[in-house]
Chain A
Amino acid sequence: MTLISRGARGSGPQPADTKTSEQRRERPLRPKRRDNVTAYVMLAPVVILLGIFVIWPLLYSMFVSLYDWSFYQESVFVGFRNFRVVLTDPQFVESVLRGLRFALIVVPSVMVIAFLFASLVKHMGKRAATLLKVSVYIPTVISGVITSLIFVLIYQYSGGIANWLVGFFGIEAQAWIGDVKLALPAIAVPAIWLGLGITSLIMLAGLLDIPESYYEAARLEGANWGKQTIYITIPLMKNIFLYLLITGFVGAVQQFELPLIMTNGGPLDSTLLPNLYIFNHFRYDIYVGYSIAAALLLFVVLGSISAGIFKTLNSEKAVDG
């Protein structure tokens, strides 16, 4: 190991069989020990903090999920009972399905809008492009709380902008977040608004990465924008789509600040997303094992779905540029 690292570092022109004096001069360059001490000292803060605030809680979650644990009583080992209870709890299963529905509204919308945005910006002059990029990114820095407060007012039944807007199209006023059918799409809108900025800019970066010569060649062949998109852009951006799809999906299913503040899961649980369900359960139920088992299960569900999307998309091997 020492030798390899020395070689890799290419530490000077000295041959291996130099004299003692030379070796002494070289010593500060190679000793592994010194690097060890420096490395551990400089790594210590991150490793210790991750250990206390991430790894310990994770191991603790795994432990607590097997117990009937509460703040006030001695815990009792119950094996996998918590998991069984969670999995047979229709409320939890429904909340997971609801989370999937929510993600199915949010993620495709964000992807399509972001793709249109990126295609537009690509053909803009530099100044207009900067203006557009900065504007579309601004919502990204706004908190979930402020976004919720704004959109609750937008959705007000009387005097809200949403009803004023649909009024132009002759649609009668809706209760939006107070309506069992509309509440989930209604809270998806601020989620889309919040998520658009980063997705758009990543997509734009990917779009600009494709050599312009491909498009020039296609244009010479008479391919229009639609054909260029289908045969050049989409295949070449496959990995970016995949990355955005997975991160967007995992993010959307885990969303819970918006429903927490806008609706607290209502009306009639129609916006009770899985993490909100777990969080509320934790707040109101002194037996923590159940909530934690649910959280761990969600972790598994999300992991397998991400892997699923990844596999499906990856199996259709596109031509790579």
Chain B
Amino acid sequence: MAVLTAPVVAGAPATARRRNRRSSPLATALRFLAGLIFVLAALFPLGWMAIAGFKSKTEVVRTPFQFFPEVWRWENYGQILEDPTFVRTLGVTFGGAMLFAALSLTINAMAAYVFARLEFDFKRTLWTIVITTMFIPGMSILLTSFIVVTRLQMLDTLAVLVLPGAASAAHVFFVRQFYLAIPMALEEAALIDGASRWGIFRHIFVPMSKPVFVVVGMTSFLAFWNSYVWPIMTITSPGLFQVQQYLATFRSERGSELGLLMAGSTLAALPVIILFLIFQRYIIGGIKISGLR
């Protein structure tokens, strides 16, 4: 996703759209209807999940189908929040995701800056190697990654969740595109004043990077929060269980408690939805085509 999109530096110019002057009331109504269908299709499954969380065990899938519960019960939400495993899982996953996002932001931005601005030996070679890793499909290294982390005795540690995915060529590429658009003049003055390259990165580039950092940070956070396959391969101790892992395990062990499962899923989806709504301006505004035409 990040490959060919680049963030807008300031002020999205995309709003230059013009309303069709000849639109009739009928056309407007049809457009409204079409819009409503899109919103419903996108949000219905999530709304249904949240509502199912208010239903009793047998009410979730009963015939005839009923959208709303007969009685709105808060028990499911209360009960799942009283489950210490679930709460710890949410906490551990959230902490891990924050750590992961911070780490990946730091190292990928540093690399992006170096590739955007510095001259050094083997620059082309290193760039080629880094970018090539972007095109390696996950499955062709998933199995041997597991063997590698086993050899490194990283199984069942926080490190196995945080370290393997932290360096991302796509993120390096994305941030670099942003840095290439920053005018050279800014740092030239600082260089003449004797500022170090690190100082320039830290005091000129990082403060300007908010829009791109939001997108990259959010992408990393989501990747960590939503990951399922890697945790089930590498994590076995309940203390490090990840939230998606918890939900899948809950389903296979206590599959009949559907209301409870939906309540848990809702609570697991809520943090990322809220985060997205907070930062939606950057994420949606950040999708801008560069060099595709």
Contact = CB atoms under 8 A, between A and B. Distances in A.
Given A50-B130, A132-B38, A302 B137 contact: yes
Contacts of A120: 31, 34-35, 38
B239 to A, nearest CB: 20
B163 A158 contact: no
The 9 A-B pairs with the shortest beta carbon distances in the complex, nearest first, are A159-B61, A143-B226, A164-B65, A49-B167, A39-B120, A45-B107, A57-B144, A57-B141, A53-B164
Contacts of B107: 45-46, 49
B225 interface: yes
A36 interface: yes
Contacts of A159: 60-65
Contacts of A143: 225-226, 228, 244, 268-269, 272
B139 interface: yes
A123 B31 contact: yes
Nearest to A122: B17
B139 to A, nearest CB: 5
Residue of B63, B123, B140, B283 with most partner-chain A CB within 10 A? B140
Interface of A: 1, 5, 9-12, 28-29, 32, 34-36, 38-40, 42-43, 45-50, 52-58, 60-61, 64, 116-117, 120, 122-126, 128-139, 141-147, 149-151, 153-154, 156, 158-161, 163-164, 193, 196-198, 201-202, 205-206, 208-209, 212, 236, 239-240, 243, 247, 250, 254, 256-257, 260-261, 275, 278-279, 282, 288, 291-292, 295-296, 298-299, 302, 320-321
B289 A205 contact: yes
A150 B49 contact: yes
A25 B194 CA distance: 10
B293 A236 contact: yes
Chain B: interface size category: 35 or more
B14 A208 contact: yes
Nearest to A190: B45
Interface of B: 1, 3-5, 14-20, 23, 31, 34-35, 38-39, 41-43, 45-46, 48-49, 52, 60-65, 106-108, 110-111, 113-114, 118-121, 123, 126, 129-130, 133, 136-145, 147-148, 152, 163-167, 169, 172, 184, 188, 191-192, 194, 196-198, 201, 222, 225-226, 228-229, 244, 247-248, 251, 258, 261-262, 265, 268-269, 272-273, 275-277, 280, 283-284, 287-289, 292-293
A302 B48 CA distance: 36
B55 to A, nearest CB: 11
**Which one of B119, B133, B144 has the greatest number of beta carbons of chain A within 10 Å?**
B144
Given A141-B222, A158-B63, A205-B289, 12 more contacts: A35-B118, A43-B114, A45-B111, A50-B167, A53-B164, A54-B133, A117-B38, A138-B273, A139-B46, A239-B293, A250-B137, A257-B229
B199 to A, nearest CB: 10
A161 B143 contact: no
A132 B140 contact: no
29 contacts: A29-B192, A46-B107, A46-B130, A122-B17, A124-B35, A128-B35, A129-B17, A132-B35, A134-B284, A135-B42, A138-B43, A144-B228, A145-B228, A146-B268, A150-B265, A159-B62, A161-B65, A193-B42, A198-B1, A202-B5, A202-B289, A240-B289, A257-B228, A260-B229, A275-B139, A279-B142, A279-B229, A302-B137, A320-B293
A161 B287 contact: no
Nearest to B22: A219
A126 B285 CA distance: 13
Contacts of A138: 42-43, 46, 273, 276
